[in-house]
């Protein structure tokens, strides 16, 4: 059967036009004008935008989120992600206890995600235990459909922390096989000292989370990672950039032709550290994520860095940490698990706060929420744009819808939404995943388990230039 998405205002990464999209066997096989034949399924998109399904290259589903023993927001909660217009995620695969990188990836695909995920997905390897085997395993990631690995420079003395020697060796080994190294570029030593100072002075409330990790902590970590990547001769991808200090380091590196790319997150573009100052512990703790939220001026810096191409993607950094888990930090902000949910909201929030305010064009929007993440993670052109031969992952977006984000309308696997009450200036109405309608009237109508693992190719965007 053929499907024709008819008369939409099609937005791609570099164009906008009125037209039809022809779909056969789950793939886009035509873009233009098509007369429906007998038996064709026609989806009327008149008066609405049609853009590629979003690619969120930074999520943490079914993750312990460094909090110990409780796992929330498993892959079944990706129903909220696809309702929000994201059809592919690049999820983090932390090592399971006692397991290396490859076994953890295998377990994630075949046990955690299987039969549950509603979106297509690929994975980043993620070091949470510096076992001897990981250095060789990095070289085997591409054979297993994985093209990236994350190293945390923050979180001194925790299993997440990757020391400089390990980071350098991972960079060297990644270079040989085209794996992209993603770095959490905060200086763990500085944070540790500042956290101790805060607690000693009795400053234990959530707002001290931001005090203990000021922007220069991120600037230094980013600079060091860039330096090591340069010496290793390996491209670098800087995760969740929040501030001008880090942006400056990326700009300097590019000035000497070093291949460095970076992403920022929905919340760093739209929420300030004022959210951490709420007197209500639970309200404030929802916004404890790392790096920390910044002041108003940094929001503008980040929009500028996206527009001038220094930063290349907007991601959610979705972490499913419910309020019960956040309560671990009642006695001290240092014990609050870091991270906030947002994969289901990314497209709506960036449309309202980016496109509708004129901060970014519609084409830039598509690049940042779909095309670039697909390129960076080695899954383009199968994913990320409306081009012939791509998977028919499409969003039909009603620009006239007006409302507000409400957790109750689309529960996200945890018990709150950090964007509660934010305006919806347009809404994802219909979503197609590989040609199948899986969201209709903003409700999930697909199957749990419909999402497929998409093998990522090595030597992705960070290796081929900027
Ligand atoms: N880094 C992430 O990428 N996500 C959540 C917390 C963190 O430190
Ligand atoms: Zn991180
Ligand atoms: Zn993250």
Distance 155 CA to ligand 1 centre (A): 10
Average pLDDT over residues 176-181: 98
pLDDT of residue 66: 41
- DSSP-derived letter for residue 455 is P
Structure tokens at 52: 């590629």
- Residues in the 5 Å CB sphere of ion ligand 2: 184
- Helix extents (H) in 319-425: 323-326, 346-350, 362-366, 372-376
The token pair that represents 455 in the structure block: 């093998």
145 Cβ contact partners less than 8 Å away, ≥ 6 residues apart: 122, 453, 454, 455, 456
Residue with CA nearest ligand 1 atom 3: 317
Q: How far is the CA of 317 from the centre of ligand 1 (A)?
A: 7
Predicted local distance difference test score (pLDDT) of residue 63: 82
Confidence of residue 12 (pLDDT cuts 50, 70, 90): very high
Q: Is the distance from CB of 263 to CB of 237 less than 8 angstroms?
A: yes
Taking the chain, what is the end-to-end CA distance rounded to the nearest angstrom?
Answer: 40
Strand positions, DSSP E, 222-353: 236-238, 260-265, 313-315, 318-319
* Rounded Cα gap, residues 406 and 393, in angstroms: 25
Measured CA to CA, the distance from residue 13 to residue 379 in angstroms comes to: 16
pLDDT tens, 357-408?
999 999 999 999 999 999 999 999 999 999 999 999 999 999 999 999 999 9
Residue 397 has a pLDDT of: 99
Partners of residue 314 on adjacent β-strands: 264
Ligand 3: centre distance to CA 73 (Å)? 14
- Residue 413 CB-density burial (10 A; 0-12 exposed, 13-18 middle, 19+ buried): buried
- Where do the structural domains in the chain lie, given as residue ranges? 52-383+454-464
Whether residue 81 contacts residue 68, with contact meaning beta carbons closer than 8 Å, is answered with no
Token output for 123 = 């994975």
Q: Helices 244-255 and 296-307, interaxial angle, to 10°?
A: 30
Instruction: Please give the pLDDT value at position 461.
Output: 97
Question: Which pLDDT tens digit goes with each residue over 304-347?
Answer: 999 999 999 999 999 999 999 999 999 999 999 999 999 999 99
Helix (H, G, I), strand (E, B) or coil at 461: helix
* Beta strands in 391-434, from DSSP E residues, in sequence order: 394-404, 423-433
Ligand 1 atom at minimum distance from 155 CA: 8
To test the ligand 1 pocket, which listed residue (240, 241, 320) has its Cβ within 8 A of the most ligand atoms?
240
Cβ(432)–Cβ(444) below 8 Å:
no
The pLDDT score that the predictor gives to residue 398 is 98
Selection from 204, 120, 6 nearest residue 446 by Cα: 120
CA 115-119-121 angle, to 5 degrees, is: 90
Instruction: Kindly report the backbone phi and psi dihedral angles of residue 405, in degrees, each rounded to the nearest multiple of 5, phi listed first.
Output: -75, 125
> Which distant-in-sequence residues (6+ apart) come within 8 Å of 189 by Cβ?
156
Do residues 457 and 148 make contact, with C-beta atoms less than 8 angstroms apart? no
pLDDT at 161: 97
Read off the pLDDT of residues 188-233 as tens digits, 9 standing for 90 and up.
999 999 999 999 999 999 999 999 999 999 999 999 999 999 999 9
Q: Which atom of ligand 1 is nearest to the CA of 66?
A: 6
Which residue from 223, 155, 222 is spatially nearest to 189, judged by alpha carbons? 155
CA of 429 to the centre of ligand 2 (A): 32
- What is the position in ligand 1's atom list of the atom closest to the CA of 154? 8
CA atoms within 13 A on the CB side of 342: 28
Average pLDDT value for residue range 276-299: 98
Residue range 87-133, pLDDT digits in tens? 999 999 999 989 999 999 999 999 999 999 999 999 999 999 999 99
CATH fourth-level superfamily of 52-383+454-464: Metal-dependent hydrolases (3.20.20.140)
The pLDDT of residue 65 = 41
Q: pLDDT (tens digit, 9 = 90+) per residue, 53-88?
A: 999 999 999 986 444 445 678 999 999 999 999 999
Q: Does the pLDDT at position 434 exceed 80?
A: yes
Please state, in angstroms and rounded to a whole number, the distance separating the CA atoms of residues 345 and 412.
Answer: 9
Residues enclosing ligand 1, CB less than 6 A? 184, 239-240, 289-290, 317, 319, 338-339
Q: Which atom of ligand 1 is nearest to the CA of 289?
A: 6
Mean model confidence pLDDT for the chain: 96
Q: Which of 20-29, 428-437, 456-465 has the lowest mean pLDDT?
A: 456-465
Q: What is the DSSP letter of 212?
A: T
The residue contributing the CA closest to ligand 1 atom 8 is: 290
Distance, in Å, from the CA atom of 386 to the CA atom of 392, rounded to the nearest integer, reads: 8
Strand partners, 396: 50, 430
pLDDT range class, residue 466, cuts 50, 70, 90: low
In angstroms, rounded to a whole number, what is the distance separating the alpha carbons of residues 196 and 188? 12
Residue range 124-152, pLDDT digits in tens:
999 999 999 999 999 999 999 999 999 99
């Amino acid at each position: 059967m053929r499907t024709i998405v008819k008369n939409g205002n099609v937005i791609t990464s570099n164009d906008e036009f009125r037209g039809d999209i022809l779909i056969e066997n789950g793939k886009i096989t035509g873009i233009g004008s098509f007369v429906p034949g007998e038996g064709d399924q026609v989806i009327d998109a008149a008066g609405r935008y049609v853009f590629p399904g979003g690619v969120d290259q930074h999520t943490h589903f079914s993750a312990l989120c460094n909090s110990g023993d409780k796992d929330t927001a498993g892959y079944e909660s990706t129903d909220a992600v696809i309702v929000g217009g994201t059809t592919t995620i690049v999820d983090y695969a932390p090592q399971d206890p006692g397991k290396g990188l490859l076994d953890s990836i295998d377990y994630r695909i075949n046990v955690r995600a299987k039969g549950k995920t509603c979106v297509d997905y690929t994975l980043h390897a993620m070091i949470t235990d510096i076992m001897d085997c990981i250095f060789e395993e990095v070289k085997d990631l591409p054979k297993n459909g994985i093209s990236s690995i994350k190293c945390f420079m923050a979180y001194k003395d925790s299993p997440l922390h990757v020391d400089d020697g390990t980071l350098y060796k991972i960079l060297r080994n990644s270079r040989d096989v085209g794996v992209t190294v993603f770095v959490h570029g905060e200086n763990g030593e500085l944070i540790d000292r500042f956290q101790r100072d805060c607690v000693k002075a009795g400053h234990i409330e959530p707002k001290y989370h931001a005090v203990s990790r000021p922007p220069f902590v991120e600037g230094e970590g980013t600079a060091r990672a860039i330096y090591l990547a340069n010496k290793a001769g390996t491209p670098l991808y800087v995760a969740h950039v929040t501030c001008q200090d880090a942006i400056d380091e990326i700009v300097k590196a590019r000035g000497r032709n070093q291949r460095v790319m970076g992403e920022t997150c929905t919340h760093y573009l739209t929420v300030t550290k004022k959210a951490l100052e709420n007197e209500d512990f639970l309200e404030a703790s929802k916004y404890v994520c790392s790096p920390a939220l910044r002041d108003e001026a940094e929001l503008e810096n980040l929009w500028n860095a996206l527009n001038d191409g220094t930063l290349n993607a907007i991601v959610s950094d979705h972490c499913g940490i419910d309020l019960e888990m956040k309560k671990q930090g009642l006695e001290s902000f240092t014990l609050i698990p870091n991270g906030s949910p947002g994969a289901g909201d990314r497209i709506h929030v960036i449309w309202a706060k980016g496109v509708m305010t004129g901060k970014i064009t519609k084409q830039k929007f598509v690049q940042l929420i779909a095309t670039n993440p697909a390129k960076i993670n080695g899954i383009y052109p199968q994913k990320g744009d409306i081009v012939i031969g791509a998977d028919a992952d499409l969003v039909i977006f009603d620009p006239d819808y007006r409302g507000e984000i409400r957790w109750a309308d689309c529960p996200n696997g945890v018990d709150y939404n950090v964007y509660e009450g934010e305006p919806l200036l347009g809404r994802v109405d219909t979503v197609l995943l590989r040609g199948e309608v899986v969201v209709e009237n903003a409700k999930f109508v697909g199957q749990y388990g419909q999402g497929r693992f998409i093998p990522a190719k090595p030597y992705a965007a960070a290796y081929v230039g900027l």
